[in-house]
Amino acid sequence: MWLSRIFTVGLLILCQIACMHEDSIHRIDGTIISKTELTEEINNLMEAGHVTGLAVSILNQNKVIYQKAFGYANFKTKELLRTDHVFYGASFSKAVFGYLVAQLVSEGLIDLDKPLQEYLDKPIPDFPFEKDWRGYQNLKNDLRYEKITARMCLTHTTGFPNWRWMTKDFDFYEIGKIRFLIDPGKRFSYSGEGINLLQFALEQITNKGLEELASERIFKPLKMEMTSYLWQTRFSEQYCSGHSPARLPILKDIQDEAGAAGSMETTIEDYTKFFQAVMRETHRETSIGQLMLSPNVRIRSKVQFGSQSWEDTDENDEIQLSYGLGWGLLNSPYGPGMFKEGHDQGFQHYSIMFPDQKIGVIIMTNCDNGESIFKKLLEVSIADNYTPWKWERYIPYDLNE
């Protein structure tokens, strides 16, 4: 009889331990937080930061341990946000593109350090574009374009502005012509234009469009059924609106072309599948993983965007802030970190993984207040105290500068 009681008590204890484990999220520093506690923290942060809607995924051992949606898909109609709602992915588009290029490099289809011009049958400025303003005619008498490589494009060192309608200080540039701000390869300077040039070159090399390449190599194999670089009519019923700081819904701007720098639509569910695929490669240190985790340029700029991006600092030397193939890189006591943000009107996102720990987090928000809670959410969810939040300009809602 007493053996039976001991067995029963032992079984109950094991069940309790298992239940505690299932309710716990392991963080990179070895601590844990309960899912209930994290949910409460997120609700409090959203209220304090006036965040309209937020979706989050957390990975432990590269498995989804926590995935939830909070707030509203549309504040005006009070439609609640779900994990299958489609977000505008903004620069998460670049993270997918970086992974796509790493695949092509590992297969020998493109060399990261061979000038893109050498793959093409005529000078880049001579290629016609259906929309002239997208072309490179303005570079005809500036032969620096002949030096640009795929590595420069993915590490934001082409010397181009972020967008051709922006000045060096990220103000509006009325002329709107593509041009060099600095010589290629000299300095990290975030540039969607560089990403777009590489997309154009790859489409010429492979004779396939970006959407076809991404669908064949990433979206279909990973079963990312609600993700595309092109707007799909089937997204309409599941799309979540972007919101202004005052929580006013923003009219959807439908992209007319697939753009590696920022046209992708996706869900937190789909993007998590992609994130897991990248973590598998980087944790196993495959050829693709090694490409993704290798620092290509050290970053010492004070901030990522704006006039202060031309000022240097040593504030991020401790984490050795760098850039890889479309992703930011940092070092921590728990191994390297790989991160990518997304930011556009009405949408603010962030993701970071620590491959050695097989821990990561993805945050997607549909409002212009989202970034104000990123610092605290990263700390509480996975104990990430290493994301360069000042460099990212993720100023907390309760911190005045």
User: Is 7 part of any domain?
Assistant: no
Q: State pLDDT tens for residues 341-351.
A: 999 999 999 99
So what's the pLDDT on residue 337?
A: 98
Residue 15 reports pLDDT greater than 60: no
CB-side exposure of 312: number of CA atoms within 13 Å?
A: 7
Cα-Cα-Cα-Cα torsion 225, 227, 228, 233, nearest 10 degrees, comes to 70
Short-list 395, 397, 392, 172, CA closest to 302: 392
pLDDT over 70 percentage in the chain: 94
User: Is 200 part of any domain?
Assistant: yes
So what's the pLDDT on residue 22?
A: 80
So what's the pLDDT on residue 284?
A: 87
How many Å apart are CA 366 and CA 86, to the nearest integer? Answer: 10
User: Is 170 part of any domain?
Assistant: yes
Q: State pLDDT tens for residues 71-105.
A: 999 999 999 999 999 999 999 999 999 999 999 99
So what's the pLDDT on residue 400?
A: 59
> How many domains would you assign to the chain?
1
Mean pLDDT for the stretch of residues 256-265: 96
User: Is 13 part of any domain?
Assistant: no
Amino acid at 333: P
How many Å apart are CA 264 and CA 149, to the nearest integer? Answer: 24
Q: Which of 54-63, 178-187, 280-289 has the lowest mean pLDDT?
A: 280-289
Q: State pLDDT tens for residues 26-53.
A: 999 999 999 999 999 999 999 999 999 9
Mean pLDDT for the stretch of residues 182-188: 97
Encode 95-104: b = buried (16+ Cβ within 10 Å), e = exposed. Answer: bbbbbbbbbb
What are the angstrom distances between the C-alpha of 359 and each of 62, 66, 75, 85?
6, 12, 32, 24
User: Is 300 part of any domain?
Assistant: yes
Q: Do 372 and 353 touch, CB atoms closer than 8 A?
A: no
So what's the pLDDT on residue 364?
A: 99
Q: Higher-confidence residue: 20 or 333?
A: 333
Q: Hey, how many other C-beta atoms are within 10 angstroms of the C-beta on 236?
A: 10
So what's the pLDDT on residue 14?
A: 39
Q: State pLDDT tens for residues 195-253.
A: 999 999 999 999 999 999 999 999 999 999 999 999 999 999 999 999 999 999 999 98
So what's the pLDDT on residue 4?
A: 55
User: Is 15 part of any domain?
Assistant: no
Structure tokens at 306: 């704006």
Q: Residue 63's domain spans which residues? A: 30-392
pTM of the model: 0.94
User: Is 38 part of any domain?
Assistant: yes
Q: State pLDDT tens for residues 107-156.
A: 999 999 999 999 999 999 999 998 888 999 999 999 999 999 999 999 99
CATH number at 367 reads 3.40.710.10
DSSP string of 40-87, one letter each residue: HHHHHHHHHHT--EEEEEEEETTEEEEEEEEEEEETTTTEEP-TTPBE
User: Is 397 part of any domain?
Assistant: no
Residue 16 reports pLDDT greater than 60: no
Residue 8 reports pLDDT greater than 50: no
